[in-house]
Amino acid sequence: MTSTPRLGRITVFPVKSLPGSSRETVRLVDGGALEHDREFAVVDADGEYVNGKRTDAVHGLDAAFDPAADELRFRVRESVPSTGALDPGDAGRFALPDERAAAEAWLGEFFGFPVELRRDRAGGHPDTTDYATGPSVVSAATLRTVASWFDGLDADGVRRRLRANLEVENVPAFWEDRLVGSAGRVVPFEVGGVELEGVRPCPRCVVPSRDPETGERYERFRETFVERREATFPEWATTDRFDHMYSLMVHTAAPAAAVGADLAVGDPVTVGEERPERPVE
């Protein structure tokens, strides 16, 4: 066993708010996003995202994307009934772009209202609206520690609730807080020689409080999380960039030089000294 921090897992989420899949390697695309991460998004007639903040129904839908075939696949889970006309076990597969309208009709039947399937091959549909559109980062030890706060949860369950892109091994719990600099500054770090920048902590929403498979809510999840987060907050970290303690994971950015580079499971991870933020282009 080595004590060198390494990239232990890569997860991309092809359809925003729907399940992700593991990758051994992944490329950084325009804006610093991971290739195929949040490439698709489902929106309603007003252009608003259909996500877990809005409806529990997203927990009832499996999704997968085959880049080679340019094909999206969906399946209604047995655990959560749809809000529309589809039944558990119903599935659809759609070749793009020709069958995009059919995919939208299928998804509309599932959710119970008309939807549009949007696609952005470059930067995807990130959760942030500024330049911090790089992959989100957490440590494996953080997932294990957070799981210990809740009866019945394990690290994999917490992983699926938090939905981070990059998971770093051989580091202590809350290591990712080292990537949060002081106001107006970022913390550069390298993954296999590819430089990224830690920008700020990620405030959480209602989604982590729900079972990702069933949508069932965990009672007092936020209250327990905040109590334990405050009790275990690293002495070396600063609270200046945290609006509240219901925050976990770090948003990152990627300099232009990183676009087109590949990240791979097993890559060593090193952290540099904080520096001023880059001007927004």
Going by C-alpha positions, the residue among 12, 6, 262, 24 that lies closest to residue 141 is 6
116 pLDDT higher than 70: yes
Indicate the pLDDT class of residue 280, thresholds 50, 70 and 90.
Answer: low
Strand order from edge to edge, sheet including 61-66: 61-66, 71-76, 91-95
What pTM does this model have? 0.94
Which helix H or strand E contains 252, and what residues bound it? strand 247-253
- Rounded Cα distance, 153 and 211, in Å: 10
pLDDT tens string 44-79: 999 999 998 888 889 999 999 999 999 999 999 987
- Rounded Cα distance, 69 and 87, in Å: 26
pLDDT tens string 134-191: 999 999 999 999 999 999 999 999 999 999 999 999 999 999 999 999 988 999 999 9
